[in-house]
Amino acid sequence: MKVLFLRLFSGSVLIFTTASLGMLGCASTGGLSSPEGLSPAHGDSLYAEVVEYSAAGEYEEAESSARELIYYFPRHKSVDEVHFLAAAASFQLENYSQAVKYATAVIDKYSVGPYTEDALFLLAEADLALEKYYDAADVLCRLLASPIDADASQRAMELLRALSQGQLTVSDLERLLQAYPSTTLSGEMSLAMAKREFARGNYDRTYELLSDLLYEFPQHKRTREVRQLLELTESRRTDPARPSSYVEPFKVGVMLPETGSYARFGRYFERGVAIAVEEHNQKSENLTTVVKADTKGDPIDAVRGVKRLVTEEGVVGVLGAVLPVPTVVAAVECSAWRVPMLSPVASHKRIDEIGPWVFQTRISTEVEVSAMAKVAVENLTLERFAILAPESREGQQYAELFVQQILRRGAQIVAEELYRPGDTDFKPQLEVIREAAPDALFIPGDAEELVYVLPQVAFYDMQIQLLGLSNWNSERLLRLSKRELEGALFPREAYHGRDRSSRIQFETRYKELYGGDVHSVASAGYFGMRLLLRGFDSGVIDREQLRDFLQSELNANPTEFKNEAMGLSILKVSSGQVREFTALGARN
């Protein structure tokens, strides 16, 4: 079976396959006549096009050829495969309603064919994209009730588990339990339903559900959690006014964008978190569990996520939420619920000012800008500086801060140019900068923008010192712009608790598991989770204790923490490699 493409969604892996990539042109209609005088050879040609376009990722062409084949050659030998590839192509084109139609045709017309299982997965994914959560769950339960292999069962369970924890309502869960009483996830769906009822204050119904759950599944893997919630429910039934909260020790809520435009950052974050938990659970008696909430990069979903993690999952603390706006919103919500939240990605220095329950481990970008100004003026003795910054709010803030730091050190700014995010032509700005003849150019852009900016800087051959931020420390950027980056300086991203040995340990494990670049968001997830795990190992079991631990770790000695930040390691691209810049006596 040849893998066409692989897509991650809600923590699961969906694999679309075809058995025919090596058999192009071999299909036959068996001599069936076709409308308008089309020959069977034309059907074979269309089939070959569908397969080739799908393999090449040319999904519009694949869907168009598939549509023509299905219309003119409905009895073609491989029409079931064509329906499936058309569904997959439509999905990739985000035409989810059309994907549903094609996938449903595979399931209904070719129920015993080789593409039925993958079509069911695709149908579930399309329903999720259309926010038809019950329909998606129903499809997944059908899969689990059928004879599928272990890997497919695991994928279905992960998707259904994510749905039961978030998008499905209590009535949805009840309908699914009635329709599929023997599904392997019935126990977890019952627990999810009980948590929902507890959060709504329906304690009698919660008690009934939990009691039935213990009776039906006495060896349930989350029996400890069920019993704890059952005891708490009983106390609330006898004294509803009693101010108690449901907290599961060693259970962490992780907020990240699992779906949506920023899902790739969520995957990086989740990988870092998973490696930290894996290392911890291998050597600690306090086994930590993680429950996720999908922010989708949206503030409203961030609010919903916090509420579910706190009231239904009983997490002792929250880690996240990766993107700036959902992080701020989640921090406000966690403060309202009096649940400690640790933000390891957001670099804005004022995140922890939201409230006494909010903390951050990332050294702020403001400190990175200050460090770059310091090394440029005090160590390189440069005097004339130019800035090329994105026209975004953050880009302009970093540019203004750099101006302040340069002027404070007695140097001068000779040019300051802005570009719009998405621009690919920087000729006007670079001509102004070249005319100003600076010694150094500071560019607070991201790696994707630099891929376009740096070759144009090199074209003008200004013989200028390039200065950047920690996001320049990208293996992809180095691969694509190695020559243009030669001699560039930028700080290494820094987090509380990060040292050389722990960084090397993490990066080695990350590459073993996933290969490729170690993204800074993955590092943030790893070191943020490590800090929470260190708290658990020190005896933390509830929210107040976790808050006090984070307070003592991060805020007890502000001067020491600030000194750590100001001692950022500075990196330099030398002979095509990223190396330590030793003029600062920098350390890892």
Paired with 316 in beta bridges are: none
Token pair listed for 340: 């400690």
Q: How far, in Å, are 92, 254, 270 from residue 129 at the CA level?
A: 11, 22, 21
In this prediction, residues 539-562 reach a mean pLDDT of: 77
Q: Any idea which residue has 């923008």 for tokens?
A: 449
In this prediction, residue 29 carries a pLDDT of 37
In this prediction, residue 500 carries a pLDDT of 73
Q: How far, in Å, are 37, 95, 269, 477 from residue 510 at the CA level?
A: 58, 35, 12, 19
Residue, of 531 and 144, whose pLDDT is higher? 531
Residue, of 168 and 132, whose pLDDT is higher? 132
Distance, in Å, from the CA atom of 342 to the CA atom of 276, rounded to the nearest integer, reads 15
For the chain, percent of residues with pLDDT exceeding 70: 87
Encode pLDDT of 4-16 as tens digits.
333 333 333 333 4
What amino acid is encoded at 361 in this protein? Answer: T
The CA-CA-CA angle for residues 438, 442, 448, to 5°, reads: 135
For the chain, how far is it from start to end, CA to CA, in angstroms? 46
User: φ and ψ at 388, to 5 degrees?
Assistant: -125, 105
Q: Any idea which residue has 């996938």 for tokens?
A: 103
In this prediction, residues 130-145 reach a mean pLDDT of: 88
User: φ and ψ at 234, to 5 degrees?
Assistant: -60, -40
Is the distance from CB of 341 to CB of 317 less than 8 angstroms? yes
pLDDT at 270 over 70: yes
Which residue segments constitute the domains of the chain, with CATH numbers given? 2-130 (1.25.40.10), 186-238 (no CATH), 245-362+500-556 (3.40.50.2300), 365-491 (3.40.50.2300)
In this prediction, residue 20 carries a pLDDT of 38
In this prediction, residues 259-276 reach a mean pLDDT of: 92
Q: Any idea which residue has 């769906």 for tokens?
A: 189
CB neighbours of 522 closer than 8 A, spacing ≥ 6?
A: 268, 269, 271, 272, 510
According to the per-residue pLDDT averaged within each range, which of 154-168, 218-232, 313-327 is highest?
313-327
Distance, in Å, from the CA atom of 335 to the CA atom of 357, rounded to the nearest integer, reads 5
In this prediction, residue 17 carries a pLDDT of 39
Q: How far, in Å, are 187, 204, 212, 214, 233 from residue 218 at the CA level?
A: 10, 21, 10, 5, 19
Confidence of residue 348 (pLDDT cuts 50, 70, 90): low
In this prediction, residue 431 carries a pLDDT of 95
pLDDT at 345 over 60: yes
Distance, in Å, from the CA atom of 315 to the CA atom of 322, rounded to the nearest integer, reads 18
Confidence of residue 25 (pLDDT cuts 50, 70, 90): very low
For the chain, percent of residues with pLDDT exceeding 90: 46
Q: Answer positive or negative: Cα dihedral of 224, 226, 228, 230.
A: negative
Distance, in Å, from the CA atom of 400 to the CA atom of 239, rounded to the nearest integer, reads 57
Distance, in Å, from the CA atom of 468 to the CA atom of 9, rounded to the nearest integer, reads 34
In this prediction, residue 393 carries a pLDDT of 82
pLDDT at 21 over 50: no
Least confident among 104-113, 147-156, 311-320, 543-552: 147-156
pLDDT at 514 over 60: yes
Confidence of residue 229 (pLDDT cuts 50, 70, 90): confident
Residue, of 217 and 521, whose pLDDT is higher? 521
Encode pLDDT of 474-487 as tens digits.
777 888 888 999 99
pLDDT at 241 over 90: no
Is the distance from CB of 263 to CB of 295 less than 8 angstroms? no
Gyration radius of the chain over CA positions: 28
In this prediction, residues 363-384 reach a mean pLDDT of: 88
Region for 339 from its dihedrals, namely left if φ exceeds 0, alpha if ψ lies in -120 to 50, beta otherwise: beta
Distance, in Å, from the CA atom of 456 to the CA atom of 427, rounded to the nearest integer, reads 8
